[in-house]
Amino acid sequence: MCLMFSFLFPMANLMDYLIEMKAPKGKTSKYQEEWLSELAAKGYDTAVCVGFDEARKKIMEYITL
């Protein structure tokens, strides 16, 4: 199962921050990789995180830009 989070407040020169959440053995599909690439090309910051700890680290990095 994957979840997408959007923090609807821009930080630095970035638009939203979208995180694709994955279970420990989860992988992104080709479609998801293409979609994340398209979002990044439009100015969105994206990440794929495995588990809560990795997501928390990415979120903390983002909000302290």
Residue 54 pLDDT: 93
Rounded CA-CA distance 14/50 in Å is: 22
**Residue 18 is part of which domain span?**
4-63
Q: What is the mean pLDDT of each run of 10 residues along the chain (65 residues)?
A: 54 72 89 90 87 90 78
Residue 8 pLDDT: 58
Residue 44 pLDDT: 81
C-alpha distances in angstroms, 41 versus 13, 29, 49? 13, 18, 19
Which contiguous run of DSSP H or E holds residue 50? Answer: strand 45-50
Tokens representing 28?
A: 């992104």
Rounded CA-CA distance 7/63 in Å is: 10
- Domains held by the chain: number: 1
